[in-house]
């Protein structure tokens, strides 16, 4: 009987510890993730590609390795406004600093090319098709919970795209 009580006590303590650990964490009582967004305007230069898709991508690291942390839906030529501009917003980003916001073309796996980035000189592209930026490189963007980092404006040079 004593052995049975010891086993019960051990299980009870383990459950109690699990409850205590699970109740610890951030003080966000809503249970929603801490997220914000990045927004701006892209001005497109050059001829729209006959194939593939254009995206705005966000990376926590630069140079990018692997998939982006976030990206827009594909942008089509029909969505462009006056002056060949596109107003975008990338929502649902975790609060923190992102080292690169890029504009890219994708025709399939392994067929990704950059056409622009957010940096100190928003009137020029500042990047080559392989996502190698000119100095000083991309400008970081800090996302704050429940806020939009606006004014992240860029230029996209579609002539950088080399369709295989």
pLDDT tens for each residue of 83-130: 999 999 999 999 999 999 999 999 988 889 999 999 998 878 889 999
Residue 29 has pLDDT above 70, yes or no: no
Query: How far is it, in rounded angstroms, from Cα 56 to Cα 106?
Result: 11
CA angle 120–87–158, rounded 5-degree value = 65
21 within a domain of the structure (yes/no): no
Residue 142 has pLDDT above 50, yes or no: yes
pLDDT bucket at 13, cuts 50 / 70 / 90: very low
Domain count, the chain: 1
Residue 23 has pLDDT above 60, yes or no: no
Predicted pLDDT at 33: 61
Phi and psi of 160, rounded to 5°?
-70, -20
54 within a domain of the structure (yes/no): yes
3-class DSSP state of 154: strand
24 within a domain of the structure (yes/no): no
43 within a domain of the structure (yes/no): yes
Asked whether 146 and 36 are in contact (CB, 8 A), the reply is: yes
Query: How far is it, in rounded angstroms, from Cα 137 to Cα 100?
Result: 9
Segment 46-88, tens digit of pLDDT:
999 999 999 999 999 999 888 999 999 999 999 999 999 999 9
Q: Which residue has the higher pLDDT, 163 or 36?
A: 36
Cα distances (Å, whole numbers) of residue 54 to 73, 86, 117, 150, 152: 9, 11, 13, 20, 17
142 within a domain of the structure (yes/no): yes
57 within a domain of the structure (yes/no): yes
23 within a domain of the structure (yes/no): no
Predicted pLDDT at 140: 97
Predicted pLDDT at 122: 80
Predicted pLDDT at 34: 77
- CATH number of the domain where residue 156 is located: 2.60.40.1120
62 within a domain of the structure (yes/no): yes
Residue 17 has pLDDT above 60, yes or no: no
Average confidence (pLDDT) over 20-33: 43
Domain holding 106, by residue range, is 35-160
**Environment class of 117 (CB within 10 Å of its CB; exposed 0-12, middle 13-18, buried 19+):** buried
Average confidence (pLDDT) over 32-41: 88
Average confidence (pLDDT) over 157-162: 95
Q: Which residue has the higher pLDDT, 164 or 38?
A: 38
């Amino acid at each position: 009987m004593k052995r049975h009580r010891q086993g019960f006590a051990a299980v009870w303590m383990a459950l109690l510890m699990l409850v205590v650990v699970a109740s610890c964490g951030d003080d966000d009582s809503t249970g929603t993730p801490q997220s914000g967004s990045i927004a701006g305007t892209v001005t497109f230069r050059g001829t729209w590609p006959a194939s593939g898709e254009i995206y705005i991508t966000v990376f926590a690291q630069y140079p990018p390795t692997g998939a982006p942390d976030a990206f827009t839906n594909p942008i089509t030529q029909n969505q462009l406004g006056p002056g060949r501009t596109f107003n975008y917003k990338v929502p649902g980003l975790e609060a923190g600093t992102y080292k690169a916001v890029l504009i890219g073309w994708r025709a399939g796996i392994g067929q990704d090319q950059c056409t622009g980035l957010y940096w100190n000189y928003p009137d020029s592209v500042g990047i080559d098709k392989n996502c190698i930026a000119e100095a000083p490189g991309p400008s970081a963007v800090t996302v704050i919970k429940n806020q939009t980092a606006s004014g992240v404006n860029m230029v996209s040079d579609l002539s950088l795209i080399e369709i295989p």
